[in-house]
Structure 1
Amino acid sequence: MALSSGLRNKLIAAAGGGAIAITTLFLGGKDGVEGRVYEPYKDVVGVWTVCDGITGKGVIQGKHYTDRECDSLLWNRVRQVKEQVDPLVKVHLGEYQRAALYSFTYNVGVSAFSNSTLLKKLNAGDQAGACDEMRRWVYAGGQKWRGLMNRRDMERSLCLAEDANDL
């Protein structure tokens, strides 16, 4: 699935703000790949989730979240992911590649990322092969999901982008 023109334009505009800004726009709000939901719900594997894919003990069942709360939760979570991902990556990457890794890890978790073939290929210098690995991560609860296939295609495109012309 290709990036929507609205999301593409936002990502290009965010490039100067670095990988965190790109990731936050990629994931968040009405145009983001997560799809913002203001009421907590159980995802496909039964995990309580809210806003832009936020999970964990901080999700309060029955609460209605505002855009401001969702933005804050997203920003904080992406910063946490960055702090956990950056030490694992041993090669130089551009901002779009980092943003793709942050988005991927935001979704699959740091443990899965740190033990992945994706990371091994990346650190071995096979960036294209690492980006292609994203397409393998399309299962949840033992089932293949169209939403995850679309997301991984978009993350792969971001991962392979050298500059805004590649988006």
Structure 2
Amino acid sequence: MGRKTRLAGTAGAAAIALVGMWEGLRLTAYRDIVGVPTVCYGETLGVKIGDKHTKVECDAMLLASLQKHEAGMRKCLKDPDGIPERSYVAFVSLTYNIGVGAFCKSTARKRLDAGNLRGACDAATWYNRAGGRKIPGLVKRRSAEHKLCLEGVK
């Protein structure tokens, strides 16, 4: 059985920095691009418009949510510990953004399980839409994740 988490040390710091940079920090709840109540670094679970948090609370929520998404991602992968660290961080960021269910059904996950890391990195870039529209910010995020992901390709 593999490790329960790889989000410790440099991988954890990299995941927090990557996701935090793309999600941004909002201490008061707002409606995201498709109207979902959102707060902190993109948290949506149980959020109501008007909710407020401190940066310390948001940082703790982000770490807990990253670990939750990582655990879900690991469950649907054949060999999560075989993924190079930088690629792994990119896939955690993707999973955080699109959700565990979408990641587990994705071509990226299928390609990872088939041992095709480059193909998995490429497939992850397809998640650049919200509300049926291509979103420039998601295109940029996927591009940054793709670059990081490819650092693990030999």
TM-score by length of 2: 0.87
1:63 and 2:51 correspond: yes
Answer yes or no: is the 8 Å Cα contact 1:20–1:79 preserved in 2.
Answer: no
AA aligned opposite 2:36 = V
Match of 1:98 among 76, 80, 88: 88
4+ long deviations beyond 6 Å: none
Match of 2:138 in 1: 148
AA aligned opposite 1:123 = D
The CA distance in 2 between the partners of 1:122 and 1:150, in whole Å, is: 22
What residue ranges of structure 2 are gaps of 5+ in the alignment? Answer: 1-6
Distance 1:139 1:119, change over 3 A: same
Cα RMSD for the two superposed structures: 1.8
Match of 2:117 among 107, 112, 127: 127
TM-score by length of 1: 0.81
* Mean CA deviation greater in 88-97 or 146-155: 88-97
1:139 and 2:120 correspond: no
What residue ranges of structure 1 are gaps of 5+ in the alignment? Answer: 1-14
Equivalent pairs counted in the alignment come to 145
Percent of residue pairs identical: 39
Residue 94 of structure 1 and its aligned partner are, at CA, apart by 1.7
1:11-49 superposed Cα distances (whole Å, 9 cap, x missing partner): xxxx98143332112112xxx111111111111111111
